[in-house]
Amino acid sequence: MDVKGESVQMIFKREEAFRYIFGFPIPAEFTITQINYREVNSSPGMAEIIDISPEGLRIRTNLLIPDEDAKIVLSVTFKINEVDLTVDGEIIWAKEMGSLVEYGIHLLVDASMKNMIIEELKVYSKSKN
């Protein structure tokens, strides 16, 4: 733990470069942009990012996104190190946890965005140690 009481850890998995788990989830806003390849424009919802990798992220929200069998793409906006990031990703799993729902999101981003996520997480991690 660092002096602020935030636990910081990096967990390595074989199938991805790394996954960063935030000691305190970071706020995010999301909108649904596609349902089964059809463009939609939903109202924004609030969420927290629990962990992130260049390939995906896990969010927690009090909003239940219906239709588990549909292909649903979200646009998620958040801030790391005062840098605003917006990424698109497909929901690949959902898990209800009482009044909250966690969603696993597979990011649909290019190499430059993956590199930006990695670089910002490096800076963030160093600032928390």
d(CA 103, CA 114): 20
Higher pLDDT, 125 or 77: 77
Q: Mind giving me the DSSP string for 102-119?
A: EEEEEE---HHHHHHHHH
The pLDDT tens digits of the residues spanning 2-44 come to: 333 333 333 334 455 689 999 999 999 999 999 999 999 999 9
The pLDDT tens digits of the residues spanning 84-96 come to: 999 999 999 999 9
Predicted TM-score (pTM) of the model is 0.84
Hey, where are the domains in the chain? 9-128
CATH for 9-128 is 2.40.10.220
d(CA 88, CA 52): 13
The pLDDT of residue 128 = 80
Q: Is the pLDDT of residue 118 over 50?
A: yes
39 and 73 Cβ atoms separated by less than 8 Å = no
60 and 50 Cβ atoms separated by less than 8 Å = yes
The pLDDT of residue 14 = 43
The pLDDT of residue 17 = 62
